[in-house]
Amino acid sequence: MPETTGRENDVHYELNVTAEEARRGATRLLSRNGKRLEVNIPAGVASGNVVKLTNALQVTDGRAGDILIDVQVIKAAENRQPGEIIEVTDANFENEVLKSSLPVVVDFWAPWCSPCHMMAPVMSDAALQYEGRFKFGKLNVDENPASAANYKAMSIPMLLIFKNGQVVDRSVGAIPLAQLKNWLDAAA
Give tens-digit pLDDT for 146-179: 999 999 999 999 999 999 999 999 999 999 999 9
pTM (two decimals):
0.61
Give tens-digit pLDDT for 61-111: 899 999 888 887 776 555 556 678 999 999 999 989 999 889 999 999 998
Q: Return the active site residues.
A: 113, 116
Higher pLDDT, 14 or 162: 162
Q: What's the gap between Cα 90 and its chain centre?
A: 9
Architecture of domain 77-187: 3-Layer(aba) Sandwich (3.40)
* pLDDT (average), residues 36-60: 87
Provide CATH code, domain 3-74: 2.60.260.20
Q: For residue 89, what is the enclosing H or E element?
A: none
| Fold match between domain 3-74 and domain 77-187 | no
- In the chain, what are the domain boundaries? 3-74, 77-187
C-alpha 85/C-alpha 80 separation (Å) is 8
Percentage of the chain lying above the pLDDT 90 cut: 48
